[in-house]
Structure 1
Amino acid sequence: MSRFLDTLVASARRNSGAGARGLTTGEPDSPVRRTWAEVHDVARRMAGGLRDEVRPGDAVAVLAADPALIAPAVQGAWLSGASVTMLHQPTPRTDLAHWAEDTLRVLRMIGARLVLLGPPFDGLSGLLAENSIEHRALSELDGPPAGTAEVGEDATALLQLTSGSTADPKAVRITHGNLHSNMLGMVSAAELDAERDVAVSWLPLFHDMGMVGCLTVPMAIGMEAVKVTPADFIARPLLWPELISRHGGTVTAAPNFAYAIVGRRLARADDGEFDLSTLRFTLNGAEPIDPAAARAFTEAGARFGLNPNCMVCAFGMAESTLAVSFAPLGRGIEVDTVEADALEQRREAVPTGQETERARRFALLGRPLPGLEVGVVDDAGTELGEREVGRLRIRGDAVTPGYLTVQGPLATKDADGWLDTGDEGYLVGGQVVICGRRKDVIIMGGRNIYPVDIERAACEVDGVRAGNAAAVRLEAGTRRERFAVVLESRVAGEPEAEKELGREVAARVVDAVGVRPSAVIVLKPGGLPKTPSGKLRRAATAALVPGE
C-alpha cells in the first residue's frame, strides 16, 4: 500500500486500549470521543459497505457536516483505493438552485462514482437521484470489515476544490505521495509530537487547511484532535479558546480574520475565563496576514496565559497539498518593513527602520518545509536575488501533478518541475514574503499597489468591520486603471453616515498608499461576496461597484 496509507493504518493499530489517542467531536453539547483505532474500525466497515460500488481509482464525493461521520468516511474511501472530494457546503445565505447547478458541474468534472451524504444534507438525495448520480447515506454505510486496497504513490488521494470552484470549477489532484511528503514536512517543521500534542480546530473540512492540516494529519500520525464545525465557531467564536482550555490544546490553526475576531472578544472577557497556556503552535495562514491583528490576538490572549511567541505565520496552497513554509517556532510574528516607493516603482524590498504611513509591512512566512523549494523569477523566467520582487514558484514532492477542470486534466509544472503560485513576493534570509496575488495588483502611474495595503488602511477607520474591506481593480486595459473600496459596516443604509464613512476611508487610503479610490461602497455585514471557505471573491465584489 502507499506510504500514507501504511502510516495511517499503523497509527490506528497503535492507538487502541488505555492511553490511546483519538478524536473528540460533538462539542460543546454532546461531546463524543473515539480512539483512532475505533475510527479505523468504523472506516473498515464503511469500506466494506463500499465494496460493491467503488473500485481503486474511483472518485468519491462527500457532503456532510459532522466530523464524526466524515473522519471514518474519508478513511474508508482511501482504504477502498478511491479518491475523496469534499464538496462545498451551502450556507443559510446560499442560493440553492445555483449551488445545485455548480455542484453537479463539479461532480461531472471529477467523474464522481458515488456521493456520500450526511446531515444536514440528506435532503439533497432527491436532487442527486433526478440527475442519475449514485449516492449513499453515511449512516447506512456498513458492511463486513474490509482490508486495505493496493494503491501506488501516484494514485489520487484528494481532489481538493480550489476557492471559488463554482461556475468554472477546478480541483487540485493530490496524490498519496503528495500527502505523505507534505505530512512529513509539517510534522518536522511544527515539531508535532503524536503522544503529547492536542489539535483543536473548527476549520471547514472542504478547505485544505481543515481537511489536511486539522483532520488528515492528526488521523494519520495518531495525534489527539478536537473537531467542531465552522457553524459552531460562527455562532460562538469564544468556543474556540474554550475548547483549547478544556482539552489542553497545544496546536491550532486559522486564517487571520478569525484571530482578529477572537482577539477583540478576548480583550473583553473576564479574567480567568480561559487557560491558553498550553498553546505552543498557533498557525496563521490561508489569507494575507495583518501583523497588527495577529499581535492584537496574542496580546489579548496573554491575560489568559497565551505565549506571545506561539503565533506561526505560514504560506500554503492546495497545489502544495497544504503547507509551503512555516515561520520559525518560538519567535512569534516577525515583520519586514520596506520602502513603499522602491517596492512599487522598482520592485525591490528595501528595508527601512522608519514606521511611516507609507512604509510597507509584511509578515515573514518562514523557510520552505523539508522537501520543498521556493524560487522567485521575473516575467522572463530569470531567477531573482534576495529582496527582488517577482513571481513566486514552488517545487517538490508535495506539489500536485495537475488539476482537473471542466475541459479536462491540466498540468501544473514546467519542464523543470516548477509550479507558478500566482503570487508576487520575495525572499529575505531564506524566508518567504508574499506581497499579493499577481492578478489583483493595481497598477497606477507605473506603481504596483497591492490591495492588502489599501484594505488594511480602510479597516483602521472606526465603523469598518475588521477584515471586511476589499480593494478591487476597475477598467483595467480600457481606461486609466482605477480602484474602488468595498466594505462592510453597520451604518449601511444610512446615507449621511455612509457618506462620512466613505470620506474617512478615502482619506486614510490616500495617507497609506498615495492614491484615492474612485468609489467607496458600503455594504451591510455579510454583504461581501466570499467563497465557502471565507475568501473574498474579487470579481463578484467588483461587480457591486456602480457602472462596472
Structure 2
Amino acid sequence: MSRFVDTMVATAANAGDRGMTTGEPAAPVRRTWGEVHERATRMAGGLVSGGVVPGASIAVLAADPAVIAPAVQAVWLAGGSVTMLHQPTARTDLAEWAGDTLRVLSMIGAELVLLGSPFDGLSAVLDEHGVAYRRLDDLDGEPLGAPVEVAESATALLQLTSGSTAEPKAVRITHGNLWSNAKGMEQAARLDPETDRMVSWLPLFHDMGMVGFLTVPMLFGIDLVKVTPVDFLARPTLWPDLISRYGGTITAAPNFAYAIAARRMQGVEDGTWDLSRLRIALNGAEPIDPTAVKAFTDAGARFGMPAECVLCAYGMAETTLGVAFAPVFTGLSVDVVDPDELEAGRRAVPVAGDRADARVFPLLGPPLPGLEVRVVDERGAVRGEREVGRLQVRGEAVTPGYLTVDGPLATQDADGWLDTGDEGYVVNGQVVVCGRRKDVIIMGGRNIYPTDIERAATSVEGVRAGNAVAVRLDAGTRRERFAVVVESKLAGEEEAVRELGKQISARVVDAVGLRPYSVVVLKPGSLPKTPSGKLRRAAASSLVPG
C-alpha cells in the first residue's frame, strides 16, 4: 500500500482546524484538510463508479486551487495518476495550445480530463477530438469507503517538464518517489504543522507549486494560503500582504519574483506589514542572483523580515522536487571563486581579497535526506572537492524514467545515478550549481556560464529584471560565440537602443572579459519562455539576426 496515500488519509482525520485558504483577495474561503478529504472521497467515488481503474492516467485542467486540491486527492484515492496540464493564457494561440495538449494527452495515455473553471469552454476542443472529460463541478458520487490499493512503484504524478510544449516530456513520479522526497523536505525544512503556515501563488502545473505548495501541506496537515499566479502578477504586493495578514512562516518562488517583489515593496510605507514570522523564503527553480536576494531582504527589513529567512535550494522534477536545501534560517551564503581557474582549470578556487571579476555562487546546501549527489567528469570518473563537473543524483526520490512522444525513456544508469544536466561542484558537503551544461559557452578554452552574462546585462538600467538571455552561436565549432537578447521598454527607439546596447556590451566585457557578437533589444513580452515562466535560451537564438 502507498505510504503517501496512507499518510494523506490519516492527516485528514487528525489535522483538526488546519487546512487551506483560497479566494484571496476578493472572496477568501477556508476549508480544513478534513473537508478537502471529504469532498475528495465523493469525487473519487464518482471516478470509480465512472470506470476509472487503478493505474488510470488522468489529466487536470483547472485554475482554482480550491477545486484542484480535492480533485488530485480524489485521483490518488481512486488509484490513478495525475497530470496537471499547462494552462492557456490570454495571449495563447488556442489552436496551437490544443495541438500541444492533444500530443501530451496521447503521450501519457490519458483516459480522462478533469475540467474546471475558467477552462470549461475548452470542452469543445476535447469533444472535437474525442477526448473523454468530466467537469469538476459535476464530479460527485457515493464516498469511496477506502483508497484503492496501489504499490509504491505505481505512478502518482506525471510532471510535464518545462521544455517546448510541442515536444512534450513527462517525468514519471511514483508513490515511493513522492513519499521519499516529501519526507526529505519535511526534515530539511523542519516543518511543524502546529506552527507553520505556507503562503504561495506558484502555478500548480509547476513542480514547486504542485508538490511543494499543495501536496506537501495536504500530506502533513500544514496550513496553506493559496492564490494564483494571475493574482500575483496583477498585484505583486499581494504576496507580502498575505504573509503579513496570515502570519506566514514559509513561502517560495523563483529568483525573478523576489526581484519584482523587492521593487514593489520599496514604495510601501513603513509598518504596513509584519513579516517577522517568515522563517523560510525558498529561492529555487532558476539561477539565484545574490544581488536580487539582497534587494529583497533589504526591502523586507523595514517590515521586520529577517534576512536569515532566505533559503537557497536546488531541485528538479526528476527528484520529485527537492535535491538540496541550504540550512534553515542561515540566510544566503555564497562561494566566491577565481574566474580563470573556474573557466580554464575547472576548479572552484576561493578568491582571497576583493576581486571585481570573481564569480559568486550561492551555496545550495547538502543533499536532502535519502539523496546522494556526486560530481563526475566527461568519462564518468568521480571528481573531488571543488572540482567542477557533471552533477549526478541518486536515491529513492529519483524518477525511474520519462514518458516521451517516442515512448518511455529511462533516467538512471546501472548504479541508479541520474545525470542532472547541470554543471557544478561540492564544497564542505554543500552543492553549488554553475549552470546548465548545454548552455555553457566555450570560447578560447574557457567555459563561460550564461548566468554571468545575463546578470551583467540586467544590471544595466533600462533592461527588464530577469529578462536577459545569453545565447550560444555556432555551438561546438571553432567559431563559437554568443549574443545577448534583452527586453526593454526602450525597444523601437533607435538612439536609445544603440546606447543601451553599448552599455550592455561594456558591462558584459567587465564581467566575463568577452564582448558579445551582438545585442538584441526586444519589447517586453518578446522573449520565449516555458509555460512556468522560465526563459528558453535555445529558442531565443532564433531572435538573433544572421
TM normalised by structure 1 equals 0.98
Q: CA deviation at 1:357?
A: 2.9
User: Which residue in 1 is equivalent to 2:313?
Assistant: 314
Residue type at the aligned position of 2:13: R
User: Which residue in 2 is equivalent to 1:71?
Assistant: 69
Aligned to 1:71, the other structure's residue is in SS state helix
Q: Return the alpha-carbon distance in structure 1 between the equivalents of residues 507 and 307 of structure 2.
A: 29
Q: Return the alpha-carbon distance in structure 1 between the equivalents of residues 356 and 472 of structure 2.
A: 22
Q: Return the alpha-carbon distance in structure 1 between the equivalents of residues 356 and 479 of structure 2.
A: 26
1:127 is the counterpart of 2:125: yes
Q: CA deviation at 1:355?
A: 3.6
Q: Return the alpha-carbon distance in structure 1 between the equivalents of residues 257 and 541 of structure 2.
A: 24
User: Which residue in 1 is equivalent to 2:79?
Assistant: 81
Within 5 Å, give how 1:244-255 maps onto structure 2.
Answer: 244-255=243-254
User: Which residue in 1 is equivalent to 2:53?
Assistant: 55
Q: Return the alpha-carbon distance in structure 2 between the equivalents of residues 314 and 114 of structure 1.
A: 35
Deviations 1:256-275 (A, max 9, x none): 00001001111221111111
Higher mean alpha-carbon deviation, 471-480 vs 34-43, is at 471-480
Deviations 1:396-422 (A, max 9, x none): 000000000011111000000000000
Q: CA deviation at 1:358?
A: 1.5
Within 5 Å, give how 1:131-280 maps onto structure 2.
Answer: 131-146=129-144, 147-280=146-279
User: Which residue in 2 is equivalent to 1:118?
Assistant: 116
Q: Return the alpha-carbon distance in structure 2 between the equivalents of residues 105 and 333 of structure 1.
A: 41
Aligned to 1:45, the other structure's residue is in SS state helix
Q: CA deviation at 1:49?
A: 1.1
Deviations 1:118-150 (A, max 9, x none): 111111101011111100110000110012100
Residue type at the aligned position of 2:22: T
Deviations 1:151-181 (A, max 9, x none): 1100000000000241111000000000100
Residue type at the aligned position of 2:10: A
Q: Return the alpha-carbon distance in structure 2 between the equivalents of residues 506 and 287 of structure 1.
A: 24
Q: CA deviation at 1:285?
A: 0.2
Within 5 Å, give how 1:330-479 maps onto structure 2.
Answer: 330-478=329-477
Q: Return the alpha-carbon distance in structure 2 between the equivalents of residues 73 and 337 of structure 1.
A: 46
Residue type at the aligned position of 1:7: T
Residue type at the aligned position of 1:2: S
Residue type at the aligned position of 2:494: P
Q: CA deviation at 1:478?
A: 4.8
Q: Return the alpha-carbon distance in structure 2 between the equivalents of residues 355 and 73 of structure 1.
A: 54
Higher mean alpha-carbon deviation, 91-100 vs 363-372, is at 91-100
Residue type at the aligned position of 1:67: P
User: Which residue in 2 is equivalent to 1:45?
Assistant: 42
Q: CA deviation at 1:353?
A: 3.1
User: Which residue in 2 is equivalent to 1:90?
Assistant: 88
Q: CA deviation at 1:227?
A: 0.3
Q: Return the alpha-carbon distance in structure 1 between the equivalents of residues 98 and 330 of structure 2.
A: 46
Aligned residue pairs, count: 544
Residue type at the aligned position of 2:119: F
Q: Return the alpha-carbon distance in structure 2 between the equivalents of residues 455 and 520 of structure 1.
A: 12
Residue type at the aligned position of 2:223: E
User: Which residue in 2 is equivalent to 1:15?
Assistant: 15
The CA RMSD over aligned residues, in Å, is 0.8
User: Which residue in 2 is equivalent to 1:482?
Assistant: 481
Q: Return the alpha-carbon distance in structure 2 between the equivalents of residues 5 and 278 of structure 1.
A: 31
Q: Return the alpha-carbon distance in structure 1 between the equivalents of residues 176 and 244 of structure 2.
A: 36
Q: Return the alpha-carbon distance in structure 1 between the equivalents of residues 22 and 311 of structure 2.
A: 26
Deviations 1:239-272 (A, max 9, x none): 0000001100000000000001001111221111
Q: Return the alpha-carbon distance in structure 1 between the equivalents of residues 498 and 188 of structure 2.
A: 48
Residue type at the aligned position of 1:188: Q
Q: Return the alpha-carbon distance in structure 1 between the equivalents of residues 95 and 352 of structure 2.
A: 54
Deviations 1:361-411 (A, max 9, x none): 000000000000000000000000000000000000000000000111110
User: Which residue in 2 is equivalent to 1:534?
Assistant: 533
Q: Return the alpha-carbon distance in structure 2 between the equivalents of residues 330 and 96 of structure 1.
A: 44
- Percent of aligned positions that are identical: 71
Deviations 1:444-469 (A, max 9, x none): 01100000000000011111111111
Q: Return the alpha-carbon distance in structure 2 between the equivalents of residues 521 and 95 of structure 1.
A: 25
Any unmatched runs of 5+ in structure 2?
none
Runs of 4+ in 1 over 2 A off after TM superposition: 353-357
Residue type at the aligned position of 2:6: D
1:297 is the counterpart of 2:296: yes
Aligned to 1:465, the other structure's residue is in SS state coil
Aligned to 2:454, the other structure's residue is in SS state helix
Deviations 1:185-225 (A, max 9, x none): 00000000011100000000000000000000000100000
User: Which residue in 2 is equivalent to 1:504?
Assistant: 503
Residue type at the aligned position of 2:25: P
Residue type at the aligned position of 2:63: A
Aligned to 1:367, the other structure's residue is in SS state coil
Q: Return the alpha-carbon distance in structure 1 between the equivalents of residues 538 and 435 of structure 2.
A: 16
Higher mean alpha-carbon deviation, 381-390 vs 473-482, is at 473-482
Residue type at the aligned position of 2:344: Q
Residue type at the aligned position of 2:61: L
CA 1:429–1:477: 2 relative to 1, 3 Å: closer
Residue type at the aligned position of 1:223: I
Residue type at the aligned position of 1:262: A
CA 1:148–1:165: 2 relative to 1, 3 Å: farther
Aligned to 2:181, the other structure's residue is in SS state helix
Q: CA deviation at 1:493?
A: 0.8
Q: Return the alpha-carbon distance in structure 1 between the equivalents of residues 207 and 2 of structure 2.
A: 21
Q: Return the alpha-carbon distance in structure 2 between the equivalents of residues 124 and 164 of structure 1.
A: 23
Residue type at the aligned position of 2:38: D
Residue type at the aligned position of 1:480: R
Deviations 1:48-102 (A, max 9, x none): 1111231110100000000000000000000000000000111112121111111
Match of 1:33 among 26, 30, 54: 30
Q: CA deviation at 1:354?
A: 3.4
Q: Return the alpha-carbon distance in structure 1 between the equivalents of residues 306 and 11 of structure 2.
A: 30
Q: Return the alpha-carbon distance in structure 2 between the equivalents of residues 430 and 262 of structure 1.
A: 31
Q: Return the alpha-carbon distance in structure 2 between the equivalents of residues 394 and 407 of structure 1.
A: 25
Q: Return the alpha-carbon distance in structure 1 between the equivalents of residues 63 and 260 of structure 2.
A: 23
